[in-house]
Amino acid sequence: MKLCKSIQWLQLKALALVFGVSCLLLLCFLASNSYTFENIDDWDKIQDDNFTVVDETWLCFSSAKILHRAENLRKGVLKESICRLRVPKSIYYEIDGDIRVNGNSSSIFWVNSQGKESLKVKPFPRNCDPLVMKDIKEYSVKSFPLQNESVPQCTSNHSYPAVLFAYGGCTVNFYHDFTDLLIPLFLTAHRYHGEVQILITNMNPSWVERFGMVLKNLTRYEIIDIDKVGHSNIHCYKSMTIGLYAHGEFAIDPLMPPLGYTFAKFTDFLRRSFSLERHMLRKHEKSPPRKPKLLLITRRWTRKLINFNETATMASDLGFEVVVMDAGDQPVHKFAQTVNSCDVLVAVHGAALTNMIFLPQDAVLLQIIPWGRMEGLSWCDYGFPAMHANLKYLEYQASLEESTLLDKYPRDHRYIQDPFSVHMQGWFVLNKVYMSEQDVVLDLQRFRGTLVEALEHVKKYR
């Protein structure tokens, strides 16, 4: 499902051989908090010393500097500058000054007092994965001195800043819609409080329509398909971000630019964008008591929960109001409302668990982890994000006896005997064996205890 994880997962597996699963989890957490800032000496890797960098301290992106820039942007007193920032998933640029965009030629013209050189950038936050980046359109940033007659003239002047990024990669997948685009776009654009224009290259209109409620909460202005503006149309801005801030897989680090943002703040933003009623579980003393509501997400293909009917019956017998649904049966905003109405979400790893972002705070995410040493990946993808979203995270690790792999391979097969050897063959083999070929048949008696734990938690808010 998540082809884009191939390189990162290979690194995690190598570490796991040395330190084991517990260290794997620690390293996953630490990786999401590590980043590198460029200093002035690094610029010769891109161009020579003639490239204009007005303010060296911009390259440090201190907390005070970012706040100072935002205030100057509101006052319209920014001076010309360009800076480059590298974080684990992306390299992006912040430019201030006279900026002119010609999407037809994939060019950005920066008119400044000294400019002579140029650079190229692919505005998609997945620099760690060359397989993805090879298909991303490259933009040229061309620096021109003042009064250069070859610079195209503005046809549309904008007083607000712009953010340019590319649609692409694995964003046909709901998880990657968020980890590769919506979370990075939130980090990049939210600080402008709607006073920003979004420019998309390689734009997919259906994606824009699908997440229109989110995008409209980030910008008050038209979203521009920059590839189709026409050769003679030049959009001009005083400030621009090329690329997106991206901290890690389905993660936000408050210590990384733009500083102070958290995953809980992002999920709160989503609840407001979709006009969801419940922001957290609360005791309603005046309301009539109702049963805790549990959503059991099913699938029609890989990692299916085979005995979901029996599982739903057991949950109902325990005292839950049970809803069984396939996430693909409704538009995003409709399914978001369903999720938000629930107190507990239960699903197999990767089976629409991304929808946990619509749960109210203090609700329960219960992840069923398939067999095959999938603990580390499961924690990184959903465990840590759930806790950072202020959810109660529970997990249930399926045993070999609960896996349908036994229906396909004998017990002495290496897929059964040595899962680590499968992990070491890379993401494609791992995905094929433990993600695509495996379904789960829950041991209901064993699973019951985890459901009881979820029930006891939500009862505290009733």
Does 160 share its domain with 232? yes
C-alpha distance from residue 368 to each of 17, 34, 459 (Å): 24, 29, 22
The b-or-e profile of 120-153 (16+ CB within 10 A means b, else e) is ebbbbbbbbbeebbeebbebebbbbeeeeeebbe
What does the pLDDT read at residue 29?
40
Q: If you average pLDDT over residues 80-106, what whole number do you get?
A: 86
Locate tokens 């229906």: which residue?
A: 407
Does 77 share its domain with 128? yes
* Element at 16 (helix H, strand E): helix 6-31
Q: How confident is the model at residue 71 (pLDDT cuts 50, 70, 90)?
A: low
What does the pLDDT read at residue 271?
98
Is residue 269 one of the residues assigned to a domain? no
Q: Which pLDDT tens digit goes with each residue over 182-225?
A: 999 999 999 999 999 999 999 999 999 999 999 999 999 999 99
Does 224 share its domain with 300? no
What does the pLDDT read at residue 452?
99
Residue 14 has pLDDT above 50, yes or no: no
Instruction: Give the number of other CB atoms < 10 A from CB of residue 410.
Output: 9
- Structural domain count, the chain: 2
Q: If you average pLDDT over residues 169-192, what whole number do you get?
A: 93
What does the pLDDT read at residue 89?
78
Q: Which of 222, 237, 253 is the last residue of a domain?
A: 253
What does the pLDDT read at residue 75?
58
Closest-CA residue to 121 (of 213, 267, 241): 241
Q: Which residue has the higher pLDDT, 274 or 80?
A: 274
Q: If you average pLDDT over residues 166-172, what whole number do you get?
A: 86
What does the pLDDT read at residue 285?
52
Does 233 share its domain with 298? no
DSSP E strand stretches across 87-196: 91-102, 107-112, 118-121, 139-145, 156-157, 162-166
Could you please report the per-residue DSSP string of 229-293? S-TT--EEEEEEEES----STT---TTSTT-S--HHHHHHHHHHHTT-S-SB----TTSPP-PPE
Does 375 share its domain with 312? yes
What does the pLDDT read at residue 284?
60
Q: Which of 253, 282, 317 is the last residue of a domain?
A: 253
Give Rg (Cα) of the chain.
24
Residue 13 has pLDDT above 50, yes or no: no
Q: Which of 201, 231, 253 is the last residue of a domain?
A: 253
Our CA angle for 184, 388, 242, nearest 5°, is 10
Is residue 21 one of the residues assigned to a domain? no
Q: If you average pLDDT over residues 356-363, what whole number do you get?
A: 98
What does the pLDDT read at residue 77?
55
Residue 45 has pLDDT above 80, yes or no: no
CATH number for the domain spanning 368: value is 3.40.50
Percent of the chain with pLDDT over 90: 67
* Residue 329 near residue 300 (C-beta atoms within 8 A): no
Is residue 11 one of the residues assigned to a domain? no
What does the pLDDT read at residue 64?
42
Q: How confident is the model at residue 78 (pLDDT cuts 50, 70, 90)?
A: low
Q: If you average pLDDT over residues 414-426, what whole number do you get?
A: 96
Q: If you average pLDDT over residues 156-180, what whole number do you get?
A: 93
Q: If you average pLDDT over residues 423-436, what whole number do you get?
A: 94
Residue 74 has pLDDT above 60, yes or no: no
- Mean pLDDT across the chain, nearest whole number? 84
* Element at 206 (helix H, strand E): helix 205-210
Residues contacting residue 461 through CB under 8 Å, at least 6 positions apart: 281, 282, 283, 343, 362
Does 126 share its domain with 225? yes
What does the pLDDT read at residue 24?
42
Q: If you average pLDDT over residues 131-155, what whole number do you get?
A: 89
Handedness of CA 74, 75, 76, 80 (dihedral sign): negative
Q: Assign 31 to helix, strand or coil.
A: helix
* Residue 119 near residue 91 (C-beta atoms within 8 A): no
Does 309 share its domain with 179? no
Our CA angle for 288, 293, 294, nearest 5°, is 170
Does 172 share its domain with 76? yes
Q: If you average pLDDT over residues 366-392, what whole number do you get?
A: 97
In terms of residue numbers, what domain contains 112? 35-253
What does the pLDDT read at residue 153?
93
